[in-house]
Amino acid sequence: MVADIDEQSIRKEKPEDLVLALAHAKADAILALLVPSDSSVNESEGTTILITCDQVVESRGRILEKPSNEAQAREYISSFALHPPRTVASIVCTNVGTGVTCEGLDASRVVFSAIPESVVEELLQEGVTYNVAGGLCVEHP
């Protein structure tokens, strides 16, 4: 199930605050679909846990989300060797029946060697770079 939210309308200064706000917004959107306001969840059927998450990349004090165009994707990827990015991820677990939530954060720094221009071109042509925070996936070279 995909949360239909406008991520760009949710803004926070700190990456940690942003990823938590986004994960909570995703949970709220999905809960609205799972549990209509005029009904209740039957707990006798078991406990249902909804897990939502988000991730952004931070570099040089800037939050790098999904690149909006080729120039921005190229800038992000090309800068990582000089300015190692930090990924910040959140997870929110929500008990669908009770609404009780718990949340967590994780961050890590990623160090890159220089990324050759030919690899940058390949990534841009692949297209996935526009759908991920900072423009790179862990699967990328």
Residues involved in catalysis: 54
CA–CA dist 23, 59 (Å, integer): 21
E strands of 34-78, at which residues? 49-59, 62-64
Residues 64/76, Cβ–Cβ less than 8 Å? yes
